[in-house]
Structure formats: structure tokens, C-alpha cells
Amino acid sequence: QSALAYANGPSKVPTRPALVQDAIAAGHDLYYFGLGSNMLRSKIENRGVNGSKIELLSIEPAVVQGHRLAFNVRGFPPLEPAMGGLEPCSSPSRPLNKYSEDECHGALVLLTSENFEKVMRSEGVGDDVPNP
């Protein structure tokens, strides 16, 4: 599982950062950093749950310094055992391939708070409430 899943201990549900919660509550636009297939506009636009469309305000290439791509998010074995996520380069895990720069390339996507929530739901992120 991702580091976020264990930030509050293995038995607690992770919470969204207050900055994100406040932005959603106020209806502010939010940025999402897309990796892998989420770097493709059409992929994100068509990820809405139940066929709903996700509208992007903008999408552009971006780099996050001091982080690397890591397949550290639990997937759906055996078809997709792990998904990509960001990991600090200072993490104790050892990468299979060390790149010359400590950075991760992706897509910076600007979304309305409503569409940000749609992307989060498509990624399996809920309302910080455990599923029964």
C-alpha cells in the first residue's frame, strides 16, 4: 500500500490534507499530478464513474523535484499487482533503475473541485470514511 495508507497507523483510514479539504469545501480549483496513463487528456476525461465525463481546465507537462515514480500503490493482482505513485527520492526503498536526476515527469492537470472529486473517485479515493 502507499505510504499515505499508513501515515496514521495501519488500522486507521488516511485523511486528506486540510489544504485539499478546505479547497474542495470552498469550491476552488485544484491541481492533480498525473502519472502513466493519467498523462493523457483523453484517458482522464473518460475516467468518470458511471460514464460521467471529467472536464479538464488545463493540462501541461510538469516535473516534481526530489521524487521518483514508484509502483508502490496496491493494485489488483494478478492482472495489475501495483500502480504508480510518487515516492520521495530519500525513501529507504531501492529503485530498480537510478536516473541521473532526482525528479519525476508527469502532467499537471487543473480541475474544478467537482471534477477533482471525480478523478479521486476513479482512483478509489473516497470521503475519508471506511467502506462497510
Q: Which helix (H) or strand (E) holds 114?
A: helix 113-122
The pLDDT value given to residue 128:
52
Condensed to tens digits (0 to 9), the pLDDT of residues 7-36 reads 444 444 457 788 999 999 999 999 999 998
Q: Which of 129, 120, 107 is nearest to 49 (CA)?
A: 120
pLDDT bracket for residue 2 (50, 70, 90)? very low
User: Cell digits for 102?
Assistant: 532526482
Give the span between the Cα atoms of 115 and 119, in whole angstroms.
6
What's the Cα-to-Cα distance from 10 to each of 21, 53, 96, 132, rounded to whole Å? 22, 34, 26, 17
* Pure H helices in 41-85: 41-45
Q: What is the pLDDT of residues 99-111, one digit of tens each?
A: 788 999 999 999 9
The better pLDDT of the pair 43, 8 is held by 43
Angle at 10 between CA 7 and CA 13, to 5 degrees: 70
Q: Encode pLDDT of 66-114 as tens digits.
A: 999 888 777 777 877 778 888 999 988 887 777 788 999 999 999 999 9
